[in-house]
Structure formats: structure tokens, C-alpha cells
Structure 1
Amino acid sequence: MVVGERGATVSAKHFDPEGVLARLTRERPGTAQALADLIRDDPEGARLTERILAHDPSTPKPQRFIVHSAADALKPQPPIDWIVERLFSAGSVAVVFGDGGSKKTYSMLDMSVCVAGGLHWLDFPTTQSAALFVDEESGNRRLSRRIAETLRGHCVNEDSPPPLHYITLSRLNICDPADVAELHNLIAETGARLVVIDSWIATAQGVENENDSVKVQAVFNLLRLVAEDTQTAIVLIDHANKANGYRGSTAKKGAVDMMLLVESKKDSPNVDFSTEKTRDTEPFNFSAVAHFADGRFFLAASEPSGSSRWARHRNTFCATSPNTSGRLSSPSWQGQMFAVMHRRGGRCTRWQSWAG
């Protein structure tokens, strides 16, 4: 039995310790600390003490909200910390989507290699930093081959490769807070500032219905916390729907900082990119040409599909011997077409092609 109000007794099973503690701290200040002192030698003392002190109004509580003012906003703000200029910034979450065969995975591998090597990706400057590719679709053999092709396509020194890391088929579940915490730890371990996850559908295992806006938003909330805390750009590769739009709930588009559509026909090297949503820049489009030759792959910037500039880029490939100007050059298979790879510090910086 427990003594209740005015000396009455109540059954222990009806005893409300939370209510008693709340009333004691309200009506008899200091009682909570006295109770804590009394039970400090009890085997459950530590746990009970925490519960009692939680009801003590004098116990300081951490402030949940950080309130900013207009004066704070008017102070000089730091510039956007771009990982890939105009596209992906530190602390951002993005979706890159496209139909099957649109070269979206190859495009993101090419970008990852460029970030890790400190190279321009197409016409976009990058901030050299470690990159992490999280694969749940290709598997180790296929992904390793693709990464090797891309590294060789950018003439990376195989004795000193850039800090590009990858994991494959690890069953990452971005709906599970414990798995997202593991992802956070992996980012910290590798120092990655660009993380590409392939793909949304393969890792969002708790989203049975992609039109469920509550669940979709909850997943992006988790990823946002990781991106902000690590100052990493997190990019999710996603599949397009039958209408070549993004799949599922509008919450997906609402939650991201950048949504990028990738389009390419299976039998064409042309790759077109469209910013379906962007928070930090005006919407824009850009294009590239995919080069596959001799176990190498790279993307080169180009005009949109159908322009005359496309003919100036096809069939170029990475050369292996420097000329007297310190650049690498090679004739293409077209005889009068030439490709020149500009180098800086022993690495490729960009490709330039023209018809002779």
C-alpha cells in the first residue's frame, strides 16, 4: 500500500509515480532533490534519480529552438559551399532521376571521380573532396568495372588514385534510423563530402507506397539531418515513371534542394540534363556526350542533342602520351577530328575537341 493524499491509502497498482513527483515538485519545492538523496543507495537509484530530477523545475533543460532575428539575416552570410558548382552544395539533399539506360549511374560515377580528383565535371568546377558511392543495384563486380573505366577515362594515376570510396549490396535501409546512423558514421570515417546512393527504390525499404507523403518525407528528414551534420551533399539516384517524370509523392520534390532529370537514348551517346527543381540557382539545362572506348569512360560537355557540336565530340578517347605543350592529345577515329585533354598537376582538368 502507498500513502496517498490526506493520509489515504491506495493500491500500488493504481499508484501514479509521475503524478506524485509532479505534485511534489509543484507543492513542495526542494522535495525532489531530497527524494533523490534518499534513494541514491538503492539499486535502481540512478534511474529513479533521473526521473525525479526530470520533474524538478529548477533543473535546467536544454533549449530546443534556436531563434534567429532579422538582424542575424542582415549580417554578411558565407557563400554557398558548392561541392559541384550550381548543382550540389554542402548540407544538401538531391535526387537525380531518369529512365533505365539513360546513363544516370554512369553520369554520377563520372561526377564522383571528378569530385574526388578535383576536376571540373563537364563545365562545372568542383571542390576536391572524398566521395562515397553507395550501391544497392549493380553489385561489386559490375560497379568496380564501371569505376575503373571512369578512372581510366580521366587518366587517373593508378599508383595514387583519388579518395573515391564505395560499398555494394550492403542492404542499407534509409528508412531505418539505425542504418542512417551507420551511414553517418561511414561518411565521417571516409571524410566524404559527396555521397551518391543508387538507388532510392533499393534503399527506401520502409516505403511500401511511394505516394505515401508522410513516409517519404520522414526518410528525407533523416537524410537532411545527416547532410547538415556532416556538411555533405547527398545525391539519390531514382528511376523515372512511365511519363519520364519523378516517381511517387510530391513530397519527394518538395524535400530536396535539387532535382535533376537525366535523359539519353540507349543507342545514343548524347546525355541531356534538366533541373526540375533547384533552391540555390535559377533552373537551367546542360548536356554531355558519353565516351566509351578501350575500357575507358568519361563525359564531355556538349551542346544539347541535335546540335552540330555533337559531331565534334564523338569517338574521342583518352590519350596516353603527352605532347610538348604538356597536354595529352590523340587523333580520333574520324581522321581529321582531334581531342585534347588539358592537364593540371598531372591530372586531367577538361577535354577539348574540334574538327581539323
Structure 2
Amino acid sequence: MIARCEVEEFTARLNRDFDATAKPALSSTRSGDKAGGSSLPIVYFGDIRPALDAADFVEGLLIENAMSVVYGESGSGKTFFVLDLALHVAAGRRWRGREVDRKGVLYLALEGGHGVSNRIAAFRAAHPELPGTLPFAVVPVSLDLLAPDGDTLRVVEAARDAAERLGVPVGMIVIDTLSRAMAGGNENASEDMGALIRNIDLIRQSLPAHIVVVHHSGKDGAKGARGHSSLRAATDAEIEVSRDQTNGTSTARVTKQRDLELVGEFPYRLESVTLGTNRRGKPVTSCVVREVDPVQVQTDAAGLKVLKAKEALRQKLAAEDAAVLDAIDAETGRGFAGATITAIRKTLGWGEPRIRGVLARLEEDFAVRSCEVRKAKGNAAQTKAAGWCRVSIKQQCEIS
């Protein structure tokens, strides 16, 4: 926890920074109006100009000094997605065809640094063209970003220390995850969520930096991220990550943008990377994100839909075949050589065209054959009628 004297010292420094930077700006925005006496920045109608360039350090996706939330179910691949994006920011490398401004990144691995370390090592192995060092640092400990005397100020100090060491200002901080940052707080309570948001804002505005919060979906994924609605209200950008269990493809979709166009869908797969062996000689692996062509995803989905339709049809036909064969067996069990169309209709309640269609298919598969069925009418002599008989295994071998 932070001592009271440290809090007071930090507050005093913020006030000094405000005096040095904000007050001159306030004076310029008053446009010489001394009578107003307002301490707030005022921009008058005639001075307002359009903002043509958003400060989006990831083109069309993330804005400087803002907050974003990336959420998804456990196992959806959301942490891999965020880490891949953060490392591209640290490298200043184009991401998904978008321009990226290079910034220092501080990754708060609140769930432990072991898994993150392996994921970073996998990224490095998969991208040997990158320089040996990037302005990227990890804080691998649990932190309390909820309480007023928690670790909020320590995060600001850590970001400033990292900036000195990296030689690049920290412009992006990842909080992984929100649940760990709340340190036992209630995600569903407006008071606790509001306190967390205020502390995130303090970090964001003190540096300044963009804050990415990794979060979980609620029990009902259709209702969005878990917890109180004030989180989404405070978020500038929101990205939902989901995973298609049928083909292993994850997709990150932009579901909210405050100041940018609401577009963006990023499919990807996780590719395994072997990092080495442990002390027992077993391979140690992690994964890296591999971009998937959206068109290919749609093609795969369409192909899967066709396969499912074919399988459904196959099952339907198989059920019809079995029903007709059972009807023939029922007549055989009553002492007849086979079954007439009339008998099958009586058993199944189907129309004659449907029955004949199934019989034609079964005949083509050598499962039945047309035959003469002797049918008794009371005590009268047996009469002959056209019918269908099962083909025995021996007969099938002779036919083939």
C-alpha cells in the first residue's frame, strides 16, 4: 500500500504539472475575456474547428489517452489477441493492414507472469525479423487498482520508470484482467466499478496512456462483458472475442467506438510454437496469433454448412430406409415372403410416392428386390401380389 506522504507528494506533483501545462492553455482559451472569471477552458463558437485527424495510434481502432475493453469467454483467445496487438504497438509495426504508431507498452500480468512470458517468447520465435529488444515491459504481480490507497500510483511510477529504461514514453498499458485488478471488489456494484474506473482514469491522464482492460464475458455471452454497465459507458472502444469450436477460429469484433467508425472484425487462429523442453524432457509450447483471411472464414463456414446439410439429409434418408425395411420385416414376421406397397403404407402411414422412392433407393443398394408375395384372404386360397422382399447377404454377394 502507498503511504499517505507518498499520496500527498504525488498530488502535489500533479498540481505542479497542471500549473505548468494546463493554466497557459486556459488563459489562451478565454480569448481575452477577463470579466468571466472562469477557471475552466472555454472555446467559443467562432473558434471551433473540425477535428480532421483522430489521435488513433492504431489506425481506426485505438485512440491515445483513452480506454478500451477486450472481453470474451475463457478459452476464446482474448489474451493472445491483446498481446499480439500490444507487441505490434511496441514494434511500431503494421497490424492487420493498419498503420501503427510506436509506443512503449507496460503489460500488467495480474494473473501471473509465467504464461505471459511463454507467449512473448513464442511471439519472438515466430517473428525473428524483429529487433532483439522492444519497448515492452511486464509487471508480473497482483495489484489493487480498486482501493484509494491501493497500487494506482505505483502503476504510474512504474510506467515512468519503464519509459526511462526503454527510452520511449509508455503510451499503452494493458490490465490483464479486470477481475484481478479489483482485488476482491464486486464487479456488479456501481460503487466498486466506479472506483476502478476513476483509478484507471488517473493512470491514463497522469501519463498519458491508452489503457486496455482484458475482461471476461458474463454468464450470458449475448449480454456482453461481465459486471456493472458503468464499465461499458466509460469505455471508448470495446472488442468482443469469440471462438468457433467447430473450426478453431477466434474472431475479435469491434462492438463500440466512441470517436471512430464502428468497424472491425479480425479472425485468427492460434498456432503452436515449441519453446524447448522442461527438466523432465517434455516439450514446452505456447501459441502465437495467425491472421485468417475473412473470406476464407466465410468459405469455411459455408462449406461446413453444406456438410451439415448433407449429413442431416443422410440421416433423414437412413431413417426412411430403416423404417421401410422394418415394415418389410414386420410382414415377413407374419409369415409372408415380403411386403406389398399397401402393407407398408398401412404400417408407416406414408404416401405411395414416398414409399416407392425409398424402395427404389434400397433396390439400387441391393437391400431389397421386387418379388411375388403370397397373401392369404381368410380361408380362401392364397393369392399372389406384387411386393418387395429383403435381399439376403448371400443374394447380395451373388448380385455383386
Please give the range of the TM-score, normalised by the shorter of the 2 chains: 0.5 to 0.7
Q: Letter of the 1:276 partner, please give it.
A: T
Partners of 2:57 and 2:247 lie apart in 1 by 29
RCO greater where, 1 or 2, for CA within 8 Å and sep 6 or more?
A: 1
Partners of 1:310 and 1:300 lie apart in 2 by 16
Q: Does 1:140 align with 2:110?
A: no
Deviation at 1:205, TM superposition (A): 1.8
Change (3 A) 1:165 1:204: same
Change (3 A) 1:310 1:148: farther
Partners of 2:46 and 2:254 lie apart in 1 by 31
**Aligned equivalent of 2:136:** 164
Which one has a bigger Cα radius of gyration?
Answer: 2
Change (3 A) 1:73 1:103: farther
Partners of 1:285 and 1:221 lie apart in 2 by 28
**Aligned equivalent of 1:70:** 44
Q: Does 1:242 align with 2:216?
A: no
Aligned pair count reads: 246
Deviation at 1:235, TM superposition (A): 0.4
Change (3 A) 1:72 1:110: farther
Kindly, what percent of the aligned residue pairs are identical?
A: 22
**Aligned equivalent of 2:190:** 213
SS in 2 for 1:226: helix
Spell out the pairing of 1:1-356 with structure 2 (5 A cutoff): 65-71=39-45, 74-75=48-49, 77=51, 79-137=53-111, 139-157=112-130, 160-168=132-140, 170-178=141-149, 179-190=151-162, 191-205=169-183, 207-208=185-186, 210-244=187-221, 245-265=224-244, 268-295=247-274, 297-303=288-294, 306-308=297-299
Change (3 A) 1:184 1:173: same
Asked if 2 retains the 8 angstrom alpha-carbon contact of 1:102 and 1:266, the reply is no
Q: Letter of the 1:277 partner, please give it.
A: K
Structure 1, 109-118 or 289-298: larger mean CA deviation: 289-298
Deviation at 1:173, TM superposition (A): 0.9
Partners of 2:41 and 2:87 lie apart in 1 by 40
| TM-score between both structures, scaled by the size of structure 1 | 0.63
Partners of 2:116 and 2:85 lie apart in 1 by 15
Deviation at 1:288, TM superposition (A): 2.3
Change (3 A) 1:95 1:294: closer
Partners of 1:175 and 1:111 lie apart in 2 by 26
Deviations 1:144-199 (A, max 9, x none): 111111122233446x221111111x221111344111111112222321111110
Change (3 A) 1:294 1:249: closer
Change (3 A) 1:247 1:230: same
Partners of 1:118 and 1:248 lie apart in 2 by 33
> What are the ranges of 5 or more consecutive residues in structure 2 without an aligned counterpart?
1-22, 24-36, 163-168, 275-286, 303-400
Q: How much is the aligned-residue C-alpha RMSD, in angstroms?
A: 2.6
